Amino acid sequence: MMFKNFFISGAQYRFHGITNALKKQEDLSDDDRFYNSAEKEYIEGTYATFTRFMRHGVIPAIKNFQIQYLKENYNNLSEYEKANLRKATAEFAFTAILLPSVGMLLAALAGDGGDDDDELLYFAIYANRRLTQELAQFRNPLEMTKMLSNPVAGSRFLMNALTFAEDVVTPINFSPGKNENVFGYLDENSKKENIMVKHGKKLAPIWTQMDKNYKQLYGLQFGKLK
């Protein structure tokens, strides 16, 4: 439910009024515009403002080799439109910076011999790639598909909490299997780690991040490295 609210509000923030983005501002009718009573002004999505400026500001200026026309068009925008334009441009630019950074990190990893223990580089690759995915999900269908397939980190926390709660409230195992004890608190995994303690550690935010295998996460979400 939280992701639904985030996704819908994020889409509205960017795409509100996009169907009329090819029209000039002065050609918009009252039905084409949305007045926000809270902000006391007409509002539209950041991508709508960006598209209109590109269509009626940037493209004509480039075609006619009139850079001065581009500056005049920008100066004629309202402060709200200028803010929308800056937000959209910053989002595109930030994505453009992050994508090469992932490639540089992968190159550094390859130059380091691809050591499986090099978790710091894998974490940086995973974090940058995830952020790129979140920024591009509203304009790239492939990124949106990946986000929808694994949208909410909180759902994993909820599952971990339920697993730990089950460990706590069911200490007795009436039908123990191999490597299991009647008293469940003593059960260990194949690495001789106490299972209940390991489940409990996953609820600690910092420990949860330290305990992740980022090479595996990167491979599962974004494809194999090789």
What 3-state DSSP class applies to 180? coil
Q: How far apart are CA 151 and CA 9, in angstroms?
A: 15
Question: Domain boundaries in the chain?
Answer: 2-149, 153-222
HSE-up of residue 67 (Cα within 13 Å, Cβ side) = 0
Q: How far apart are CA 170 and CA 182, in angstroms?
A: 11
HSE-up of residue 64 (Cα within 13 Å, Cβ side) = 11
Angle (CA) 225 141 18, round 5° = 145
49: exposed, middle or buried (C-beta count within 10 Å: 0-12, 13-18, 19+)? buried
188 has which bridge partners?
A: 194
pLDDT in tens, 177-194: 766 777 777 777 767 778
Place of tokens 């971990």: 160
Mean pLDDT of 200-208: 65
Residues 6+ apart with CB under 8 A from 98: 128, 131, 132, 135
**How many C-beta atoms lie closer than 10 Å to residue 95's C-beta?**
18
Mean pLDDT of 11-27: 89
Question: Which range, 55-59, 115-119, 215-219, is most confident?
Answer: 55-59
Q: What percent of the chain has pLDDT over 70?
A: 74
Q: How far apart are CA 1 and CA 11, in angstroms?
A: 15
pLDDT in tens, 54-84: 998 888 888 888 888 888 888 888 899 999 9
Exposed e or buried b for every residue in 197-208, given b needs 16+ CB within 10 A?
eebbbbeeeeee
Q: How far apart are CA 87 and CA 10, in angstroms?
A: 13
